Structure 1
């Protein structure tokens, strides 16, 4: 399992995931930059994502939906606030309505993703900050920690498949 640490800091309204991968920073960056690769791991295995919009640039918008095992759809959005490829990505993140527009009911989070070389491996740190302690607790109750662990757990296979074939492995 690539997730090596999860830290919840209620005082700072933050949840941080640290994962490590046997791949270069540039290869791990590609799982964020390429929407076809991103949708192969964003979301738990039983809720695969489909990105219908993916503008990975400052001010860019990303829109997606995840499809559950019974065909139920859950939509989400990002607004990209900073990009320093291949080392850092920041975005606001939230749930969306059926038209892909932000749904304010659960608020938004701000995510900061950093990639760093650690002895030939890549450490990916993903820190999400929340609007309130209540929002953080609500997201945890909805399964955010386990969902992110499962989602990030799919990246190793994606990276290994790309290395074996020299391109993307087959879609899950």
Structure 2
């Protein structure tokens, strides 16, 4: 069994941001996909301190091949993989997967490897020279999620997501975020 992700057995199909017009993204999903700031901050603006993080996975492992290509790392190198659920008032809002190469963690003075239940967005958006290098979009069919995620999140419809390459001190990290139905009402 492929254990690279606790979210899905094989990674979703990602599309270049330039295909927006062909993807027919609904406005409520586009609002989150194209959010220029921190998703965490936007959630905090709405829910306040009720926003919580549940860590689903946090371990060193090999990334998916497309993730390695985007990060320009060798597919045989280990990266820190962190998968989380952001929720508020027991309502699941966002599933996220972050791939952190060792050099990026070192350049960020190890702040990224000891997040615990702190949202990644609160940390990376505090860096004054955070760069957003690329954005890709997906819509993940229900059957593509692991059954445990389908049951825990009550996934009954395809989920929109985005995959963003950020850079801290010119060192990349990859953040994939999937927007659960409850978030689309905000």
**Is TM more than 0.5 here?**
no
Greater share of helix: 2
TM-score by length of 1: 0.32
Greater share of strand: 1
